Structure 1
Amino acid sequence: MEMFSPKTGPPIYFAAMSEYRFCFLLSCLRFDDKDTRAQRQTTNKFAAIRVIWDIFIDNCGKMYVPSETVTVDEQLLAFHGNCPFRMYIPSKPAKYGIKLFLICDSKSKYMLRAIPYLGKEGTQPQARGGINVGHKITKDFKEPYHNRNRNVTTDNWFSSAPLVTDLLHNCGMTLVGTVKANKKEIPQEMKETRTRIVGSSAFLFVNDMTLVSYCKDTS
């Protein structure tokens, strides 16, 4: 177990208890009423752990003040058990697991909040008002830090021009992230690389946004 590894495990875990004691307590833990679980699972796929999960996530945000930069991303948490929302992503090291959307402090890597992906019908928040799920998740994640001069870093699943504009003008925040070339807001001139020099960059400035297209060697 990584927590109790003599090479990577923080000493605080050894000071609290032994690995054997930790595993024993872990095997005895129960997080909800098994008699009512089936009924609750009809409306909430995460019912077996929802109550303790919400308490834990709420405390993560309350007990820590992040730096000026935070990151929104996703992670596949390795899991091979029986789970209706377990995912298979061949590009990930674990391949099978539970996908989580996370917001973390970019400097300390501290997790501030997380949302489990429970499938298209079971994951909250749902996209509304013409914005996609990545936009909605990023904005909701950042709500406690709106208008506090923070920057968020995202990858191309979350990044979009509407998100940048929304965060800047409605939330008092900036965003840095990669963006897919097939986004409709990217002009064709920024996608064309055949006539450009390898290692060169093209810049596009629109109001408060800057787009950079880097030409890399694909040979």
Structure 2
Amino acid sequence: MHCIQVMDPATEDRADKLGKVRPFLSTLQQNFPCLFAPGVALSIDEAMIKYNGRLRWKQYMPMKPIKWGIKLWVLCDARTGYCLALYVYTGRDDHLAEGMGLTYNIVMKLSSSYLLRNHHLYADNFYSSLGLIRNLHDADTYFWWYHSEEQLRPAKTDLGHGTAE
């Protein structure tokens, strides 16, 4: 695998962290929607590609089954898991976090080709925000997020010494 080269080193953009694989990723992104017609339900989540080599933007996620690797944000068909779009996380990007925030921009970037088609977009509460929900609703896209039971419990209040509910 180390001999495969998809980019001419003479024309490579050194500032682009994905420069060596950008043509390959672009081809994937173009072909994903051409080869599959997704259902109504779409899902956005993060994914990890296991990678133990040297890479400046390799991520460590202790709560995931794959601890070290390349982090992706992926839009998939919720029923089949077919990947429709992806975004490779290459470290902090101030341009991506501008405006409404990182997660808002990730969701809008990945789902842009599927807006105005009455899709139902499922994600966890990491991606949910009021601004995102409003803008997706305006784009005829329903947003559903899931959360744990702990998040629904009312917060315990400290009543102080000598008081009772």
- TM-score, with length taken from structure 2: 0.84
Show the counterpart of 2:110: 141
Q: What amino acid is the match of 1:32?
A: M
TM-score, scaled relative to structure 1: 0.64
Question: Which of structure 1's runs of 4+ aligned residues deviate more than 6 A?
Answer: none
CA distance in 2, matches of 1:165, 1:92: 31
Quick check: which has more Rg, 1 or 2? 1
The match for 2:26 is 54
Q: Does 1:30 align with 2:2?
A: no
The residue aligned with 2:75 is 103
Residues 160 and 179 of structure 1 are in contact (CA less than 8 Å); yes or no, is this contact kept in structure 2? no
- Pair 1:66 & 2:66 matched: no
SS at match of 1:192: coil
Matched, 1:155 2:124: yes
Q: For the residues of structure 2 that align with 1:103 and 1:127, how far apart are their CA atoms?
A: 19
Instruction: Identify unmatched segments of 5+ residues in structure 1.
Output: 1-25, 181-185, 196-219
Q: Deviations over 1:150-206 (max 9, x none)?
A: 10001122112221111002x1110110359xxxxx9xxx652559xxxxxxxxxxx
Structure 2 CA distance for aligned equivalents of residues 152 and 112 of structure 1: 13
Give the C-alpha shift of residue 60 in structure 1: 0.7
Q: How far, CA to CA, are the matches of 1:115 and 1:150 in structure 2?
A: 20
1:204-219 paired onto structure 2 within 5 Å:
none
Unpaired runs of at least 5, structure 2: 158-165
AA at the equivalent of 2:141:
M
| 2:139 corresponds to 1:192 | no
CA distance in 1, matches of 2:24, 2:98: 28
**Cross-structure match for 2:142:** 174
Aligned residue-pair number: 156
Find the residue that maps to 1:46 and give its secondary structure: coil
CA distance in 1, matches of 2:62, 2:134: 34
The correspondence for 2:57, drawn from 64, 69, 85, is 85
Higher helix share: 1
Contact 1:68 1:151 in 2 (8 A): yes
| Percent sequence identity over aligned pairs | 25
